[in-house]
Amino acid sequence: MSSPSFQTTFDAFLPTLNQRAPKTAETYRLGLEAFKTFAQARGYWELPVSSLPVTLLAEFYRWLAEHYDNTFTVKTYMAAANAILRHLTRQQLLP
């Protein structure tokens, strides 16, 4: 069975944000939009989830630090990225 694309799994994850508090969900949506922009710029968006690099979060952190001055924003957006990767792990889509 082939691994779904990062885009497909990302889009499937978004509705799960509704289970969070409204302000948290909105902040995570903003963080995930940044993660999406990063993934598209790096060519990860269309990759199968199983082909995402193990350095993905470290790369995203560096990208955030280059694009955002506010440390709180960087930490919060990293939390959103961690949430989707935990979701992919629970779905057994990441190695």
pLDDT by residue (tens digit) across 58-94? 999 999 999 999 999 999 999 999 999 999 999 999 8
Residue 19 clears pLDDT 80, i.e. is over it: yes
Q: CA-CA distance, 21 to 5, in Å (whole number)?
A: 28
2, pLDDT greater than 90: no
Residue-level pLDDT at 70: 95
- Which helix (H) or strand (E) segment holds residue 18: the answer is none
- Cα 52 from Cα 73, distance rounded (Å): 24
Q: How high is the pLDDT of residue 1? A: 57
Q: Global pTM? A: 0.92
Asked whether the beta carbons of 38 and 80 are under 8 A apart, the reply is no
Q: Quick check: 56 pLDDT over 80?
A: yes
- What pLDDT shows up at residue 95? 72
> Cα dist. 89→26, 27, 83, 95 in Å?
23, 22, 10, 8
CB neighbours of residue 36 within 10 Å: 18
Q: Answer whether residue 42 shows pLDDT above 70.
A: yes
Q: Are 9 and 55 in contact (CB under 8 A)?
A: no
Q: Is 43 left (phi over 0), alpha (psi -120 to 50) or beta?
A: left
Q: According to the model, what pLDDT value does residue 66 have? A: 96
